Amino acid sequence: MHSSQNEQDSRFYGKFALIPILEPSNQQEAYDMMKVAFEMSEKLQEPVLLRVVTRLAHSRAAVEVGAQGDENAFNPSTGRGWVLLPGIAKKQYAALLEKQPLMLEAAENSPYNRNEKSGTKLGVVACGIGYNYVKEAIANFKIDGINLLKISQYPLPESKILDLAAECEEILVVEDGQPVVETDVKTIVGDKATVIGRLTGQLPRTGELDPDSVSKALGYETQSPLGTAKNLAGRPPQLCQGCGHRDVYTALKEVAAEYEGARIFGDIGCYTLGALPPFQALASCVDMGASITMAKGAADAGLFPSIAVIGDSTFTHSGMTGLLDAVNDNSNITVIISDNLTTAMTGGQDSAGTNKFEAICLGLGVSPDHVKVVTPTPPNIPEIKRIIKEEIEYNGVSVIIPRRECMQTLMRHRKQAKKQ
Ligand X SMILES: Cc1ncc(C[n+]2csc(CCOP(=O)(O)OP(=O)(O)O)c2C)c(N)n1
Nearer of residues 128 and 311 to ligand X, judged by Cβ? 311
Quick note: the x/- pattern for ligand SF4 over 161-200, rule CB under 6 A, is ----------------------------------------
* Partner whose binding site includes residue 288, from ligand SF4, ligand X, none (CB under 5 to 8 Å by kind): ligand X
End-to-end CA gap in the chain: 38
Q: At what angle do helices 86-108 and 158-167 cross, to 10 degrees?
A: 40
CB 397 within 8 A of CB 366: yes
Only segment of 172-180, 198-206, 267-275, 380-388 that touches ligand X (CB under 6 A): 267-275
> Measured from the CB of residue 288, what is the shortest distance to ligand X in angstroms?
4
Question: Which stretch in 7-15, 156-164, 248-256, 405-413 sits in contact with ligand SF4 by CB under 6 A?
Answer: 405-413
Q: Which does 240 bind (CB under 5 to 8 A by kind): ligand SF4, ligand X, none?
A: ligand SF4
Q: In the β-sheet with 49-50, what is the strand arrangement from edge to edge?
A: 49-50, 21-22, 153-154
> Is 275 one of the binding residues for ligand SF4 (CB under 6 A)?
no
Q: Which is nearer to ligand X, 293 or 343 (CB)?
A: 343
How far apart are the C-alpha atoms of 26 and 104, rounded to whole Å?
23
Q: Is 157 left (phi over 0), alpha (psi -120 to 50) or beta?
A: beta
Q: Does 276 bind ligand X (CB under 6 A)?
A: no
**Binding span for ligand SF4 by CB under 6 A among 73-81, 83-91, 213-221, 402-410:** 402-410
Burial (CB count <10 Å: 0-12, 13-18, 19+), residue 283:
middle
Question: Least separation, in Å, of the C-beta of 211 and ligand X?
Answer: 28
Stretch that binds ligand SF4, among 51-59, 169-177, 206-214, 239-247 (CB under 6 A): 239-247
**Which whole-number Å values give the CA distances from 177 to 55, 194, 208, 370, in the listed order?**
12, 21, 7, 46
203 is a site residue for ligand X (CB under 6 A): no
Q: How far is the CB of 413 from ligand X (least distance, A)?
A: 15
Q: How many CB atoms lie within 10 A of CB 248?
A: 28
Radius of gyration of the chain (CA): 26
Q: How far is CA 90 from CA 78, 96, 100, in A?
A: 19, 10, 16
Number of residues that bind ligand SF4 (CB under 6 A): 10
* Closer Cβ to ligand SF4, 245 or 296, answer by number: 245
Q: Which of residues 342-361 bind ligand SF4 (CB under 6 A)?
A: 344
Residues numbered 313-352 forming contacts with ligand X, rule: CB under 6 A = 313-314, 340, 342-346, 351
Residue 363's SS3 state is helix
- Say how many C-beta atoms besides its own lie within 10 A of residue 238's C-beta: 12
Choose between 270 and 290: whose C-beta lies nearer to ligand SF4: 270
Q: Contacting ligand SF4 (CB under 6 A), which of 25, 293, 314, 340?
A: 340
Query: What is the three-class DSSP state of 285?
Result: coil
In whole angstroms, give the CA distance from residue 93 to residue 86.
10
Partner from ligand X, ligand SF4, none binding residue 343, C-beta < 5-8 Å depending on class = ligand X
Q: Give the interface with ligand X as residue ranges (CB under 6 A).
A: 268-271, 288, 311-314, 340, 342-346, 351
